[in-house]
Chain A
Amino acid sequence: MAAPLELSCWAGGWGLPSVHSESLVVMAYAKFCGAPLKVNVIDNTWRGSRGDVPILTTEDNMVSQPAKILNFLRKQKYNADYELSAKQGADTLAYIALLEEKLLPAVLHTFWVESDNYFTVTKPWFASQIPFPLSLILPGRMSKGALNRILLTRGQPPLYHLREVEAQIYRDAKECLNLLSNRLGTSQFFFGDTPSTLDAYVFGFLAPLYKVRFPKVQLQEHLKQLSNLCRFCDDILSSYFRLSLGDG
């Protein structure tokens, strides 16, 4: 509790504390369990080049990847899942797997692969956050990484071509959104009245999709029709991230 916890992550925009899903997951989780995080957004003075963000630093530790960071926070007694039953804990793992398999490819595609979106929104935004000459290299690398991930995990014969994979991944993503909406129903959070790890993950994946203004918006349009999911994101934003005060 004594050592300060610092989180390096991508900055916010469009009303979000961060536009990067993984950074958002960690930030939301920290807010839910009251972990005092000092947020350092990446800016023109950033010297790291690995693109491993978000990264949590304490006095003697450096942890990357949301799952590992959340684990670390739990070990420090910041546990948002304290009240969950064993089954709910297992459900959490299952739904996170669902998010990563079915929703993530389409989110990655919307941000990093769809050319209109990438060249007019994503690339300029990320490039503006980092110093030259990194700004020339990193966005391209992140885009290739996203494409790679999509093709390797979803593109199998005969779906080697991106266009066919695209149709499938958007279908899967829409189905996943429907499933999430069904599961959430009219509750405030996924497991009752207090937010947990699953809420952090769903928020992290959905909020950028919901708020960032893209030219090509098919998945966004679908999400906007699921009003309970939109309400879920807005509630978390207004309760935990009072953006109007310029809070990180």
Chain B
Amino acid sequence: IYLVAESKSAEPWPENATLYQQLKGEQILLSDNAASLAVQAFLQMCNLPIKVVCRANAEYMSPSGKVPFIHVGNQVISELGPIVQFVKAKGHSLSDGLGEVQKAEMKAYMELVNNMLLTAELYLQWCDEATVGEITHARYGSPYPWPLNHILAYQKQWEVKRKMKAIGWGKKTLDQLNATYVTPVSTFRPTELDALVFGHLYTILTTQLTNDELSEKVKNYSNLLAFCRRIEQHYFEDRGKGRLS
């Protein structure tokens, strides 16, 4: 979803482009962190500078209610999909060189990542009682005074549970997570798929949760670990941005 002004593609990428997400230390949750990291990785891969700003109400500032969102010139765009399209309209694309079939595969794999990884993260965060009690609830409500902190957290949990039920994730399906997908796209240049996968995997590997099932599963795949390390080194360290915390 994005609000578009009339002259959208004319202006070049401004120096003060900003990305908004929730507070890093105390508030942001696994799934939102992954989404934010994916967008950051994507923009790094396109060589477009972006400043990360943390706001407690980032979720409510976003036009679609999802984080992260970017503020570029006078436009606000949220979520990786629309951001990729917006960046493309400005003349930067990572996947232009792909053939039709490869583009189809890339889109399919992005859906798969969303389907499996994002859903597993959401399930872990909001439907695993131990995680909810010890981590999610407290983090989600942290910027707000009592009783708003509890109300908002319960409301969000109810929303996520409804969604899980609608798509059939009611019972624990983490075992079905099949992490043997191979990144099929061109090895010459990374694409938005790589950004998405990196965002999720890196976050899963580096976030401390009560339930380690997800990160243990990912750790079993050395090719995925190597992939994360490669992207981190190439796009986040080399640019003098310092390590991702």
Distance between A103 CB and nearest chain B CB, rounded to angstroms: 10
CB distance from A15 to the nearest CB of B (A): 28
Q: How far is the CA of A102 from the CA of B104 in the complex (A)?
A: 12
Residue of B nearest to A149 (CB): B166
A157 touches B178 (CB 8 A): no
Surface stretch bound by B, among A92-100, A125-133, A204-212: A92-100
Interface 9-residue window, one of B22-30, B38-46, B111-119, B126-134: B111-119
Contact at A90–B166, with CB atoms within 8 Å? no
Q: Is the Cβ of A98 less than 8 Å from the Cβ of B182?
A: no
Asked if A153 is an interface residue, CB under 8 A from chain B, the answer is yes
CB-based nearest A residue for B104: A179
A91 contacts the other chain (CB 8 A): yes
Residues of chain B within 8 A (CB-CB) of A101 are 111, 114-115
Q: Which residues of A contact B107 (CB under 8 A)?
A: 98, 179
CB within 8 Å of B: which A35-77 residues: 65
* A159 interface contact, C-beta 8 A: yes
When chains A and B are docked, how far (Å) is the Cα of A180 from the Cα of B100? Answer: 10
Q: B63 is contacted by which of A86, A158, A183 (Cβ under 8 Å)? A: A158
B64 touches A90 (CB 8 A): no
Q: Which residue of B lies closest to A85 (CB)?
A: B182
B112 adjacent to A93 (CB under 8 Å): yes
Question: A97, B116: Cβ atoms under 8 Å?
Answer: yes
Tell me the complex Cα distance, A148–B166, Å: 7
Contacts of A180 in B (CB 8 A): 104
B167 partner, pick from A153, A157, A182, A185, beta carbons under 8 A: A153
CA of A185 to CA of B203 in the docked complex: distance in angstroms? 37
Contact residue among B104, B109, B168 (Cβ-Cβ distance under 8 Å from A182): B104
Please, which residue of chain A has its CB at the minimum distance from the CB of B162?
A152
Measured CB to CB, the closest approach of chain A to B176, in angstroms, equals 8
Contact B112 A183 (CB under 8 A): no
Which residues of B have CB within 8 Å of A158? 1, 63-64
Q: Which partner residue on chain B sits nearest A102 by CB separation?
A: B111
**B184 beta carbon closer than 8 Å to chain A:** yes
**Complex contact B184–A93 (CB within 8 A):** no
- Asked if A163 is an interface residue, CB under 8 A from chain B, the answer is no
For residue B146, CB closer than 8 A to chain A, the reply is: no
Taken together as a complex, chains A and B put the C-alpha atoms of A95 and B106 apart, in Å, by 10
Question: Is B181 touching A93 in the complex (CB atoms < 8 A)?
Answer: yes
Chain A residues contacting B109 (CB-CB under 8 Å) are 94
Q: Is the CB of B112 within 8 A of A97?
A: yes
Chain B contacts of A86 at CB under 8 A?
180, 182
Bitwise, A142-163 to B at CB < 8 A (1) or not (0) is 0000001100110011110000
Whether B167 and A149, one on each chain, are in contact in the complex, defined by CB atoms closer than 8 angstroms, is: yes
Does B65 count as interface, using CB distance less than 8 angstroms? yes
Task: State whether B115 touches A97 (Cβ < 8 A).
Answer: yes
A159 CA to B108 CA in the complex, in Å?
A: 24
Residues of A bordering B, CB below 8 Å = 65, 86-87, 89-91, 93-95, 97-98, 100-102, 148-149, 152-153, 156-159, 179-180, 182-183, 185
- The 9 A-B pairs with the shortest beta carbon distances in the complex, nearest first, are A94-B108, A97-B112, A179-B104, A97-B115, A98-B108, A94-B112, A97-B111, A152-B166, A90-B181
Could you list some 17 contacts between A and B, CB below 8 A?
A65-B168, A89-B180, A90-B182, A93-B178, A93-B181, A94-B109, A94-B112, A94-B181, A97-B111, A100-B115, A101-B114, A152-B162, A152-B163, A152-B166, A152-B167, A153-B167, A157-B65
